[in-house]
Structure 1
């Protein structure tokens, strides 16, 4: 079962790597030549901005995904499907990023594109939250040294994305660049470890010393 866990994580890592690679492939080479190339490079600033934010979003997703699997002893069939759901949602991010980048300078179209981008992050937040809630629901997939109650206690803090990302949908109706900035700061929030999985101390000598002090 530990080998199966490694296989699932390796497959997931491959998907994350492909998604991040596709993000940069969406930035096209400017058609301008000579000194006009400076203008062509600057004209693509929406693509750069969208790329940086989405790279950070996907990168943080991968870090948290890796953190979770580092504490799993085995996987089961429901978890495999929940993991596939997470990967399916992540795989769409390059497309929503491209749509947003292409229309970020068009005020009305930018709002529609930002709504699409933000709404899809809501879907992702729900998918990843479902993944984490299933892992912590019983705790039967964790390594023996994991504090299962402590892991469950992180649910609400990690699940704040289900509240924060809908707010970005509202912001998208006001300003697409503002919504993109909000996504950047949400990714920064999740870059800090919001699922610190505590470990159970099983050192009998420490317990004996504690008993003696009592």
Structure 2
């Protein structure tokens, strides 16, 4: 009996060691964020036209900064989550791989925004990609809370707040898709500012609630 229990699927697919999952995830995030910058090419033009060529690349730089900032926020969120866990399960690793699947598409999505940000489809593809990353991230938090994977010393209010805060970013990105079709790509891009506003309001509300207790 003891020999069978040692090789049961539950013992193989779960455990306390999160290091390998974290290292692999960090590598995927790092490569994806680096490739976004690598895609920006140095203009090959005569010296007199360099200034104009660089100016024409401003949409690429803007898309790069936006993608880097959003993905960095997701990475910080991912890092904090895994530092709070007491171990892993097979389902957790599967959900994490889904997240990394979408993170790996970051370069493609960023190029779509950089080169076709003035077109509805370009903005829609970018918003969908970032929305999928956020949805997968939200799924991780919800699963970990439901499966009680948080360490015993973690304040239960933290995962509760995270499961409210995490859906904000993907919700805004997905909501911007119909905005792009109805009011144009620029309106959709401007609507992404709602992420900052809503997140700030939730942060203030969270601090006030904690202070009241």
TM bucket, shorter chain: 0.7 to 0.9
Q: CA separation in 1, counterparts of 2:78 and 2:199?
A: 12
Q: In the alignment, which residue of structure 1 is the partner of 2:138? A: 129
Deviations 1:94-135 (A, max 9, x none): 10111221123xx4xx21100111122222222111111100
1:211 maps to none
The Cα of 1:147 is off from its aligned counterpart by 2.9
Runs of 5+ in structure 2 lacking a partner?
1-14, 204-213
Q: Is structure 2 residue 23 aligned with structure 1 residue 10? A: yes
How far apart in 2 are the matches of 1:191 and 1:59? Answer: 17
Instruction: Indicate whether 1:119 and 2:128 are aligned.
Output: yes
Contact 1:60-1:191 within 8 A present in 2 as well:
no
RMSD of aligned alpha carbons: 2.4
Q: Residue by residue, what CA displacement relative to the aligned partner does 1:74-102 show, whole Å, maximum 9, x if unpaired? A: 10100000000000011111101112211
SS in 2 for 1:154: helix
Q: Report the alpha carbon displacement of residue 144 of structure 1 after superposing the two structures with TM.
A: 1.5
Aligned length: 188
Any stretches of 5+ residues in structure 1 without a counterpart? Answer: 195-214
Asked whether 1:144 is paired with 2:144, we answer no
> What is the TM-score normalised by the length of structure 2?
0.79
Equivalent residue runs for 1:58-207 within 5 Å = 58-104=71-117, 107=118, 110-139=119-148, 141-148=149-156, 150-173=158-181, 174-183=183-192, 186=195
Of residues 40, 64, 68 in structure 2, which corresponds to 1:27?
Answer: 40
Instruction: Give the Cα–Cα distance (whole angstroms) in 1 for the partners of residues 57 and 157 of structure 2.
Output: 48
Please say if residues 141 and 163 of structure 2, whose CA atoms lie closer than 8 Å, have aligned partners that are also in contact: yes
> How far apart are the structure 2 equivalents of 1:118 and 1:185?
13
State the SS of the aligned residue for 2:18: helix
1:58 is paired with a residue whose SS is helix
